[in-house]
Amino acid sequence: MNKTSQSKVILMMAGGTGGHVFPALAVAHSLAGQGYEIHWLGTERGIESELVPKNGFTLHTIDIAGLRGKGKLGLLAAPVRIFKAVRQSLAVIKKLKPRAVVGLGGYATGPGGIAAWLKGIPLLVHEQNACAGMTNRILQKFARCTMQAFPGALPGALVTGNPVRNEVLALPAPELREAHNGKLRVLVVGGSLGAVALNQTVFEAMSLLPDAERPQLIHQAGKRNIDELSAQYQDAGIDADVTAFIDDMAAAYVWADLIVCRSGALTVSEIAAAGCAAIFVPFPFAVDDHQTANARYLQSAGAALIRQQNELSADWLAGQWRYFSDNKQALRDMAVTARSLAMTHATEMVTEQVRRFADEQ
């Protein structure tokens, strides 16, 4: 391989959660397939420390963490910590000499973005949520290109959608899927760690319904809750497929008539791409309530329902299942609308912008 200084290096920045890392990985693989050498800026504590090397990319770590909720002492120490992280980022950029630096969120994006600007390297920023985070609002002032998944998150930013998995993009449109006449099929997605309040309400809603009115249920409960929840269903004599993790989400999307889940940016984008009807229960402690903003993208078009966690009850949920069991066409219409709102070329659009600025160098 050529020396790093002579090669087409792109420095990706994304970390902390899958919602940042997975879209960045999709773009990274796309760029790698077009001859670019991908490096990654992140932290040792985030999910990127496992996922990035597993995907074959070199991870460079800096020492930075979140600033919110650290108290007065944490805020007083913040300038020193940020200065240190910017210096570490500058060292990485000096070594790699990237043609472009691409930020998709996470703690490393702020210092890394400032370092790119200081070195005169083109900075591109992508916001996954419908409500932009503080870091991206700041970096927009320094970025050569700002992109957003949902309209209105960042003024003047290019709307690209969120990069999602190819297997989801390959699913047939909802109007082309074979209809079924059996029980309502409900998919509950609590995330990798599960959502305790959501899990319990779903179980209680199933308990309220007689067996003949209960939907077929796949309940992804998270690894922390799987044993307890499985025992609850079994003790109550309720037939449910309870699992800690779903390996094939594309197949699960096609199976489901209705999805009950949180509304992280990637979840909303995948549900739109899959063409599914959904009831979103936004995580109530999300920064700036961004999960509600994400869900409104589909809800405002009639493709989904939103129920805040403090308003979610077993009675209400059981009532929705009863209604949709008798009105499957309504779910089909919601699914078709969701699919019409999907931005299915997000990976290509982000890749194109990165190449545009990288190839200028």
Rounded Cα–Cα distance for residues 58 and 41 (Å): 9
Q: How confident is the model at residue 274 (pLDDT cuts 50, 70, 90)?
A: very high
Q: Residue 179: exposed, middle, or buried by beta-carbon count in 10 A (0-12, 13-18, 19+)?
A: exposed
Q: Are the C-beta atoms of residues 279 and 304 closer than 8 Å to each other?
A: yes
> Secondary structure of 138-183 in the HEC alphabet?
HHCCCCCEEEECCCCCCCCCEECCCCCCHHHHCCCCHHHCCCCCCC
The pLDDT of 268-292, averaged and rounded, is 96
Domain boundaries, the chain: 9-163+344-360, 168-341
Which residues sit opposite 260 in a β-bridge?
A: 188, 279
Q: Give residue-wise pLDDT tens across range 69-100.
A: 455 555 555 677 889 999 999 999 999 999 99
The whole-number average pLDDT for the span 99-105 is 97
Give the domain 168-341 fold: Rossmann fold (3.40.50)
Residue 17: per-residue pLDDT: 86
Structure confidence at residue 70 (pLDDT):
52
Classify 220 as helix, strand or coil: strand
CATH of domain 9-163+344-360: 3.40.50.2000
pLDDT tens profile 192-242: 656 888 999 999 999 999 999 999 999 999 888 899 999 999 999 999 999
Residue 275 pLDDT more than 70? yes
- CA terminus-to-terminus distance, the chain: 20
pLDDT tens-digit series, residues 119-169: 999 999 999 999 998 899 999 999 999 999 999 999 999 999 999 999 999
Question: What's the pLDDT score for residue 76?
Answer: 57
Is 211 buried (19+), middle (13-18) or exposed (0-12) by CB count in 10 A? Answer: exposed
Cα–Cα dist 46/131, whole Å? 22
- Return the pLDDT at 65: 73
Helix (H) or strand (E) holding 123: strand 123-127
Q: What is the pLDDT of residue 246?
A: 92
Q: Is the pTM of this model over 0.85?
A: yes
Partnered with residue 39 across adjacent β-strands are 11, 58
Same fold, 9-163+344-360 and 168-341: yes
* Nearest C-alpha neighbor of 130 from the set 307, 335, 298: 298
The owner of tokens 């069991």 is 325
Tell me the H-state helices in the chain: 18-32, 48-54, 71-96, 109-118, 134-139, 166-169, 196-208, 226-235, 249-255, 265-274, 290-299, 314-326, 328-341, 346-358
